[in-house]
């Protein structure tokens, strides 16, 4: 993994004064802020891999914040998006949440409300990234197993003992023991509980 940098907040607003003041405010809690005046420019060049969140003004010249939100979601951007608006109607709010906004805040926004929303969005993003990463690793390890080891793994997950597995696959209990040790090593797990937690879902998904 990269050097753990502090999370990065992308702030998109066409008004320079709003950009400056909000980035100053967000900076006081130790979050890094990158400001964008032009939503098109933002979508072209922001760092999609960064951990953090996006703060998006609804009313901007040229393109609506809602359109930007739709585009981001369609492109699979996983950073949570917080919408900011000066003229909040119920309809606008409903549309924003339906499109996948994490939060919908009205201008002028109170510091605690904004910072709280940002921190919770960042936490959520970090967790989702970690989950994603763990999943990725498990997949890589699983790929290294032999055909026989996968069969044995499947039966272990189903809760069979070594003796039962041997009977089911026509192997001696000693051989099953060996496969079991190998697959524990390849999957980098040290307990049955660990094995089942990380790999049960993979077994299920590859079997079907």
> What residues line the site for another protein (CB under 8 A)?
15, 17-18, 20-22, 24-25, 27-29, 59, 86-87, 107-111
Q: In what order do the strands lie in the sheet with 8-12?
A: 32-36, 8-12, 52-57, 81-85, 103-106
In the complex with another protein, which residue's Cβ is closer, 28 or 208?
28
Q: Work out how close the CB of 77 gets to another protein at its nearest, in angstroms, rounded to a whole number.
A: 25
How far does the chain reach from its first CA to its final CA, in angstroms?
32
- The alpha carbon torsion through 42, 45, 48, 53 (nearest 10 deg) reads -30
Nearer to another protein, 27 or 173 (CB): 27
Q: How far apart are CA 161 and CA 70, in angstroms?
A: 51
Nearer to another protein, 111 or 204 (CB): 111
Closest distance of CB 121 from another protein, Å: 18
User: Least CB distance from residue 180 to another protein, whole Å?
Assistant: 57
Alpha-carbon distance of 82 to 105, in angstroms, equals 7
173-186 and 162-169 helices cross at what angle (nearest 10)? 110
The nearest distance, CB 118 to another protein, in angstroms, is 13
Angle in degrees, 0-180, between the axes of helices 111-143 and 192-207, rounded to the nearest 10: 80
Closest contact distance (angstroms) between CB of 86 and another protein is 3
In angstroms, the CA 184 to CA 186 distance is 6
The nearer residue to another protein, 61 or 170, going by C-beta atoms, is 61
Mapped onto helix, strand or coil, the DSSP state of residue 59 is coil
Structure tokens at 206: 């590859």
* Nearer residue to another protein within complex by CB, 18 or 160: 18
Rounded to a whole number of angstroms, the minimum distance from the CB of residue 157 to another protein is: 51
- Nearer to another protein (CB atom), residue 108 or residue 173: 108
């Amino acid at each position: 993994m990269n050097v753990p940098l502090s999370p990065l907040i992308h702030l998109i607003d066409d008004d320079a004064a709003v950009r400056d003041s909000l980035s100053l405010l967000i900076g006081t809690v130790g979050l890094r802020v990158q400001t964008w005046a032009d939503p098109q420019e933002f979508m072209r060049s922001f760092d999609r891999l960064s951990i953090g969140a996006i703060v998006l003004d609804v009313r901007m010249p040229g393109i609506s914040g809602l359109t930007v939100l739709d585009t981001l979601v369609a492109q699979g951007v996983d950073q949570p998006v917080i919408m900011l608006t000066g003229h909040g109607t119920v309809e606008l709010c409903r549309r924003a949440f339906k499109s996948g906004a994490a939060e919908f805040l009205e201008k002028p926004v109170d510091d605690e409300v904004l910072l709280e929303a940002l921190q919770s969005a960042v936490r959520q993003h970090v967790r989702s990234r970690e989950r994603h990463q763990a999943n990725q690793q498990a997949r890589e390890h699983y790929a290294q197993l032999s055909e026989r080891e996968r069969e044995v793994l499947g039966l272990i997950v189903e809760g069979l003992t070594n003796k039962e597995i041997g009977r089911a696959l026509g192997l001696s209990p000693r051989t099953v023991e060996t496969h079991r040790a190998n697959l524990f090593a390849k999957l980098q797990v040290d307990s049955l509980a660990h094995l089942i937690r990380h790999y049960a879902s993979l077994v299920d998904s590859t079997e079907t």
